[in-house]
Amino acid sequence: MRALTMTEFAAAADDFDAAVVATDGIDKFCSSSAWVLSASEALMPPRLPFLHRGDGGWWAAMRGLHGTGLAYAEPLELAWGLASPLVGGDPARVADEAVEVLASARGLHVAIIAGLAADAPILRAFLAAAPRGWDRRWGQPTIRHVASLAGGVDGFLARRSRNFRKALRAAQRDAAAAGVTFEAVQVATPAEALALYARILAVEVTSWKAAEGVGINAGAMRDFYERMIVRLAAHGRQRTIFARQGDRDVAYVLGAVFADEYRGLQFSYDASLEKLSLGSLCQLHQIEALCAEGIARYDLGTDMDYKRRWAEEQFETGLLVVAPRV
């Protein structure tokens, strides 16, 4: 494998994303360049590139030094542990190349490998290729909820409970009576992406999330989403629905399309309009738009109670820590 600088890796983002699409058993969106580069820049501590490109695929990681003196390698994004550092359509070859990289890395104590399903071919290949003397420890798995969009909106709703459908119909009536309309927005240029993000943040500051200090309107999360929206827009992947009351945005849902799947990212609404269920209605309008586009799956993201009502499937990935001999 050939070592890359961060600049070289970013310049090869399209090639990397194509390899992500070809990799089975990983969280494809959260292993893609828009997610991992934005997270590495905005959310992760200072680290050095440990990026390699080989004949079979990629080892997409960074190196750091813990305060205890422990030298570690980890994925570009480890804020949630969703990104896989092992990427490529030839699992056996990627695994052999990655093991060689780790074995030859001087002074490395541990390597963290996240974002891989238990049955991922690339994980099985890595475990087979890693020397028996390497210590292996498993961390807490991460669950995502995924909804099928097969059969369009009618099919999606048919798979929901009667109470779910009844509540949505009531919310639609209430929102219409309150003069709420919905707008789908896609952007392409950096300037358009930043203008879109300004609209999103204007809604965010009115939400309960901002009031409780957990919104994306401040701190590292604000930076993370700004960087990611610009990257998504450049590739036509960003998808946003706004709810509007008069000439004012009062709710939004933000997501992205990648590898024929939609990944929900964030949604918020004006807290003063909580009774109108605007978050749910924005998601429903997003689903309608995705079905019209031919998108087959909706990844709602990591485990939260409300997501279980919107999804039928779960996708679970694990976290493996290996300790190569130093």
Residue 1 is predicted with a pLDDT of 87
What value does the mean pLDDT of the chain take?
A: 96
- Per-residue confidence at 326, pLDDT binned at 50, 70, 90? low
State the Cα–Cα distance between residues 200 and 250, nearest whole angstrom. Answer: 9
- 258 CB neighbour count, 10 Å cutoff: 22
Q: Classify burial at 173, counting beta carbons within 10 Å of its beta carbon; exposed 0-12, middle 13-18, buried 19 or more.
A: exposed
- Percent of the chain having pLDDT more than 90? 95
Residue 94 is predicted with a pLDDT of 97
Please choose, from the candidates 72, 43, 15, the residue with its C-alpha nearest in 3D space to the C-alpha of residue 224.
43
pTM for this one?
Answer: 0.95
Whether residue 101 contacts residue 62, with contact meaning beta carbons closer than 8 Å, is answered with: no
DSSP state of 132: T
Do β-strands 110-116 and 58-65 pair in parallel, antiparallel, or remain unpaired? unpaired
State the Cα–Cα distance between residues 125 and 127, nearest whole angstrom. Answer: 6
β-pair partners for 248: 245
Please choose, from the candidates 41, 27, 20, the residue with its C-alpha nearest in 3D space to the C-alpha of residue 263.
27
pLDDT tens profile 257-292: 999 999 999 999 999 999 999 999 999 999 999 999
pLDDT tens profile 301-322: 988 888 888 999 999 999 999 9
**What domains does the chain contain, in order, with CATH numbers?**
2-142+316-323 (3.40.630), 150-295 (3.40.630.30)
- 38 CB neighbour count, 10 Å cutoff: 22
pLDDT tens profile 46-105: 999 999 999 999 999 999 999 899 999 999 999 999 999 999 999 999 999 999 999 999
Residue 325 has pLDDT above 80, yes or no: no
